[in-house]
Amino acid sequence: MILRSSVGATGLRGMVLRGRVKCTLCGRKMQPSSIRDRVYYRCEYKEQEAALYPGLDHPRTINLREDIVCRALDAWIARTFAPKRLAATITALSQASIAASTAQPQTPEQARARQALKECERRLARYQAALDSGADPAVITQWINDAQRDKEAAQKKLAALPNATRKKEPPLTADQIQEITERLGDIAQRIQAADAEKKEPLYEALGITITYNNATRTATVRSRPSLAYRYKE
Angle of helix 137-160 relative to helix 108-132, nearest 10 degrees? 160
At 103, is the pLDDT very low, low, confident or very high (cuts 50, 70, 90)?
A: low
Neighbours of 163 (CB within 10 A): 10
189-226 pLDDT, tens digit each: 777 777 777 788 888 888 899 999 998 999 998 888 76
| Per-residue confidence (pLDDT) for residue 226, from 0 to 100 | 64
Query: For residues 173 and 70, what is the distance between their CA atoms, to the nearest angstrom?
Result: 27
- As a whole number of angstroms, the distance between CA 151 and CA 153 comes to 5
Confidence bin at 17 (pLDDT 50/70/90): very high
Distance separating alpha carbons of residues 155 and 127, to the nearest angstrom = 20
For residue range 164-182, what is the model confidence (pLDDT) as tens digits? 766 666 777 888 888 877 7
53 touches 150 (CB < 8 A): no
pLDDT at position 12 is 42
